Amino acid sequence: MTRLGRLVVARRRTVLILTAVAFVIAVVLGGAVADRLSQGGFDDPGSDSVRARAELDARFDTGFADMVVLATIVDGDITVDDPQVVLDGLALTEELAAIAGTDDVVSYWNTGSESLRSVGHDRALIMFRLPGDESDPARELLIQQLVASYGATERGTLRAEIGGREAVFDRMGVVIEDDLALAEAIAIPATFILLVIVFGTIAAALLPVGVGVVAAAGTFLVLHIITSMTDVSIFALNLVTALGLGLAIDYSLLIVSRFREERHGGLSVDDAVVRTVQTAGRTIAFSGLTVAISLAALLIFPLFFLRSFAYAGIGVVALAMVVSVVALPALLGMLGDRINRFAITPYRVPRHAVNRWRNLGNAMISRPWPVIVLSVTLLIAVALPFLGVNWGEADDRALPVDDPVRAVTDVIRAEFDTAETNAFPVVGLMNNGDVDRGTVTGLAIAISNLDSVARVDAATGIFVDGASIVPVGDANGRFIRDDATWLNVVPAVEPISQAGEALIADIRAMAATSVGAGFDELLVGGGTAALVDTKDAIFSRIWIAGLLIVGATFVLLFLMFNSVLVPLKALVLNTLSLGATFGMMVWVFQSGHLSETLGFTATGTTDTTTPILMFCIAFGLSMDYEVFLLARMKEEYDRTGDNDRAIVQGLAKTGRLVTAAALLLAVTFLSFAVTSSVSTIKLFGLGLAVAVLVDAFIVRVTLVPALMSVAGRWNWWAPAWMHRIHARLGLSELEPIVDLRDALDLRDTPIVDLRTDEGTKGGSPAHKTPT
């Protein structure tokens, strides 16, 4: 790091020119990356639900409905069976069927199915599917066009309103985009004002903005390249912007503060830059490397939604790290003390603030046990609701109550006897031989006998409560081929619920019974089955990801600090901090506390994917805070060998940085929670705000000093064999800059150069004492 610092100082102009050129290239080539990203990625490609959809499409050229149009009588004096309404309904059905990209368009008027007619006979449903890959841009464009065209339109005696799973997700994207634009309009100026207050000058406040923009632009180019090889989720952009902003603030605060400290201590601009890279740069490099390797654990999951977080996370962490350790010091070398220009107040070392943090550190080490007991008890108590988490998926209820797409689903729930729009397929396959119709009937009867099933449509009839109410022969082969058949199951429970998941499990269990013995394979598809498979794909591998994160964190922190206890403590405290965050989120969003205040509908479930995104960001930021604090403590301990002094000095030097960074980010994240009308974004914003505040104020500046005071010299202990490993592989500086003020305990005392005119009197040196 010393050599890197000297290189940056010697080639500062070249470094800045290369950074500018790279930024322009990234903007030009990666600026349109959003057009190449995909909406899907939530399903395991090898799961039974995905295979069921593929088999239906390949063997029967059919599938379950993706979208639904709710047709309502404009004039309330007639019913959907009125001759003119029938003509308008058939015309609307044919209109939808004629649109390229739609298939299997069925309605009350072309089937006569009473399940597609409302109880009051004033509404009817038209359902259809959109064949093709969910990540196909043409399919996504068609969805947008359908939502725009049939959002609220009249066709003769009918008013058409569109809904369904695909319409819900499209509408979520539109609402989230609008909400984020509003949040950014509030958060960006507010954050900049706070940056000016924290840094003290406008010039310095612009630095984290620059670091964040360059890192984000570079990551967009990385994602652009990756999309040429594999699918990448559109949600990766959320991680880039949120984590990029967080790391830019953290890294810039650390670099600028250390540079100012070294300049105030008397070092020249060039030496101050070298010293900053040597110390703060080393801290940033280790923190970034730890976070990047930990995020790489997401690559083990088969869902490209999660893999996308790894691509984006590694990219933005690596680039923010490089820009902060290379380009930012080069810029500081160019600017020098001009970094303090445009100050809101004359810049000075905030000695009073340092004293406050020093006093807090002394309080922590004087009475550590009450602090430890109270802090840990509080974190565990807040984390307890997480034990009752019920993982689910965001559905229409994530939208605001007055949203038109949500309103369609609410009407269907309230005014239709059966959940026809929630129907899902069960596919039976024979690898050798033909399907026996008696076996089909037995399976249909068994499924219809389940309490959570309203109806089963099969090749041999329509079944309710274990009895065939409409025997059919399936002459047109809709439900059966020689070696395959499928059943259309209409549930009697909410699909995204524990009862819905239990229904999927009950049907899948039939494959091992005599009912399913007549089939070589029994595949269950649909949205609920996909959710079950997604959870299985995540939780069956999450222990591997956990081991990788724990291993990477332990190894890298050991290589930095030459300690066994420090990395173990960091892992335990990160677990407590994240546990408290997720416990709070379950209490608020799953249980529904504060739902009226925050304006969302509680569903009794917690979205599966949003907490994973939150984990990526929160883990990265918490690791920054931990490493920033510990690095300064270790630096002081190596210098003095005094554990308590190291704790107090480390907190005095970094406490303000950690808490300031957390407050800055909390403002940004809270703006997402306050302005958004989608519950998942509220979860994201409020969850991350709680995460950074809890981690900074309770864990890092309170619990960490208390625990390290109790541990004493054991903080920096490692067995002899690990010392030997650290001696060979650990990162340490061989050419430290020696400052004699350290030995005299005058680290905060400025140097007065007696060779200046002010130090000369009567032609002879004045023997002035520095103050």
Query: Is the C-alpha dihedral spanning 173, 176, 181, 184 positive or negative?
Result: negative
Please give the pLDDT value at position 43.
83
pLDDT value of position 731: 62
pTM over 0.85: no
How many other β-carbons are positioned within 10 Å of the β-carbon of residue 470? Answer: 9
pLDDT given at position 12: 92
Which are the contacts of 159, defined by CB distance < 8 A and separation ≥ 6?
71, 72, 73, 74, 152, 153
Q: What is the pLDDT of residue 751?
A: 57
Using DSSP, state whether 124 is helix, strand or coil: strand
Helix, strand, coil distribution of the chain in percent, nearest 5: 65, 10, 25
SS3 per-residue string spanning 643-690: HHHHHHHHHHHHHHHHHHHHHHHHHHHHHHHHHCCCHHHHHHHHHHHH
Q: What is residue 750's predicted lDDT score, i.e. its pLDDT?
A: 60
| pLDDT of amino acid 473 | 55
Lowest mean pLDDT among 168-172, 727-731, 743-747: 743-747
Answer for the pair 518, 439: CB distance below 8 angstroms, yes or no: yes
Cα–Cα distance measured from residue 62 to residue 59, given in angstroms and rounded to the nearest whole number: 8
Identify the pLDDT of residue 354.
65
Q: Is 100 exposed, middle or buried (0-12, 13-18, 19+ CB in 10 A)?
A: exposed
CA 478 to chain centre: 42
Burial 259-284 (b: 16+ CB within 10 A, else e): bbbbbbbbbebbbbbbbbbbbbbbbb
Looking at residue 358, what is its pLDDT?
85
Give residue-wise pLDDT tens across range 469-525.
Answer: 766 655 446 788 878 899 999 998 888 888 999 999 999 998 888 777 788 889 999
pLDDT at 746: 62
The DSSP symbol for 404 reads H
pLDDT-derived band at 25 (thresholds 50, 70, 90) equals very high
Please report the pLDDT score of residue 770 as a whole number: 42
Q: Contact at 8 Å (CB) between 63 and 57?
A: yes
Task: Give the CB-side neighbour count of residue 559, counting CA atoms within 13 A.
Answer: 16
Structure confidence at residue 657 as a pLDDT band (50, 70, 90) = confident
pLDDT of 43-97, one tens digit each? Answer: 888 899 999 988 888 888 888 888 999 999 987 788 999 999 999 999 999 999 9
Q: Which two tokens stand for residue 62?
A: 């059919």
CA 330 → CA 12, 252, 603, 647, distances in Å? 5, 13, 52, 31
Residue 105: C-alpha distances to residues 64, 98, 423, 514 (Å): 11, 10, 15, 35
Average of pLDDT values for 382-391? Answer: 93
Q: What is the pLDDT of residue 162?
A: 94
Q: What residue spans of 562-609 are helical by DSSP H?
A: 565-585, 595-598
**pLDDT of 631 over the 80 cut:** yes
747 band by pLDDT with thresholds 50, 70 and 90: low
Average pLDDT over residues 525-551: 89
Core vs surface per residue 160-193: b (16+ CB within 10 A) or e: bbbbbbbbbbbbbbebbeebbeebbebbeeebbe
Percent of the chain at pLDDT exceeding 90: 32
| Token output for 585 | 């989120």
The reported pLDDT for the residue numbered 352 is: 57
DSSP 486: E
From the list 540, 412, 644, 395, the residue with the least C-alpha distance to 47 is 540
Average pLDDT over residues 661-668: 87
CB contact burial 285-300 (16+ within 10 A = b; e otherwise): bbbbbbbbbbbbbbee
DSSP for residue 738: P
Both tokens assigned to 686: 């409020």
Which pLDDT band, with edges at 50, 70 and 90, does 15 fall under?
very high
Decide if 680 contacts 606 (C-beta within 8 A): no
Name the pLDDT band for 350 (thresholds 50, 70, 90): low
Q: How far apart are CA 706 and CA 715, in angstroms?
A: 12
What digits encode the pLDDT tens for the residues 672-716? Answer: 888 888 898 899 889 999 999 999 999 998 999 999 999 888 888
pLDDT tens, residue by residue, 572-590: 999 999 999 999 999 999 9
In the prediction, which pLDDT does 469 show?
75
C-alpha atoms less than 13 angstroms from C-alpha of 733 in its C-beta half-sphere: 21
